[in-house]
A = this chain, B = another copy of it.
């Protein structure tokens, strides 16, 4: 796995990232490889930092994934890791951090005027945990405004610079896909982690709600907001699952004999032909490896889950952005509308939405027991052309509201040669099962 791009990225890469490699090139390594190389002493954390700085110098002018990057700060972190008494589990692993996640040593600006250059003084809990394990925080990655707004960012899709990388975790997904960091942190309230994973041809993981602390992440909807994680190899996400102490759950060795539900969801009509085809191809590849792929039609109560998601986001956004609107009259209308309850969400509607989501969550716990994982689209289709619209979260919001783990596996492409991800979902706390099955699925796709 060393000295190379993960194959999905390699295959589709729009830029010339192929380096002449005559010694270990930390820039192109996965997190697992970096940890192994740094632990063995073949490279230092400072080597990793220098390679990362070089990669960013090369790719950033095109991709524009970063909202903040300070090469000297990265070097200083690396020097500290190299000077440490012992190496942590993530020593030398490069991490991009979405700019709605607090970092004590870099501004957290939320892609909004009020917070330009504002320092939070403390790290978000997830960043703190990563640093404690020896990770190097590379920089802050571009987000849509407050990870909630329509105001997108400058980031371009590394697979085609004319296309969006998706949002709201635009910069994190693109930075990982372009090799500017090994892994990255995003967030998801609708489809902000899984959709960009699909668009950028990388692995994306939305953990079980609250299984990883979301302290220090901008709040939009407490019910839906979840940390998201990106990597080019599934092993990196599994390494992060170890560091974040996720619960054990079954980790099958192969797809042979697994029961995989193919779930088109009640919003299947939002999918494009490319994704419908990808789902069919995915099913074929899984069957080719001995998996039993069976159709799963969700019970009719799930039909209203999308409506419940819309209501809950409206209700929770109203509280979440009250202070921002009071402080910033010039904030985008979208936030004024949320705070002003422009949708006129009533308490009755909110109570209904919570109760409905709760019922579906319990129902899904039961349904999911009948399968090793549920396979479902990670996006509606390929990344759209243009940067103004970061794509449609319709395929994701139902799983977000269910608070279940979702892992998007890369490898398939659409008619424009752009990546298409397939999501693997399990019941709550079975994140490790979703991770391993997504990894096996990606392998099956590669092997075609």
- A residues sitting closer than 8 Å to B (CB atoms) are 115, 118-123, 125-126, 128-129, 132-133, 210-215, 218-219, 222-223, 244-245, 247, 249, 316, 318-320, 322-323, 326-327, 339, 347, 350-351, 354-355, 358-359, 361-362, 365, 427-430
Contacts and interface: CB of A to CB of B under 8 A. Distances in A.
A286 B119 CA distance: 52
Given A128-B323, A249-B347, 6 more contacts: A119-B121, A211-B319, A245-B339, A347-B429, A347-B430, A355-B362
The 3 closest A-B pairs by CB, nearest first: A358-B358, A347-B429, A128-B323
B350 A361 contact: no
A428 B214 contact: no
B213 A323 contact: yes
Contacts of A358: 355, 358-359, 361-362
Given A129-B326, A430-B347, A213 B319 contact: yes
B354 A129 contact: no
A130 to B, nearest CB: 9
A146 B114 CA distance: 29
* Copies of this chain per assembly: 2
A249 B346 CA distance: 11
Contacts of A361: 354-355, 358
25 contacts: A118-B122, A120-B120, A120-B121, A120-B122, A121-B122, A125-B323, A129-B322, A129-B326, A132-B323, A132-B326, A210-B222, A213-B219, A213-B323, A214-B219, A215-B219, A215-B320, A222-B222, A244-B322, A245-B318, A245-B322, A347-B429, A350-B429, A351-B429, A358-B361, A359-B362
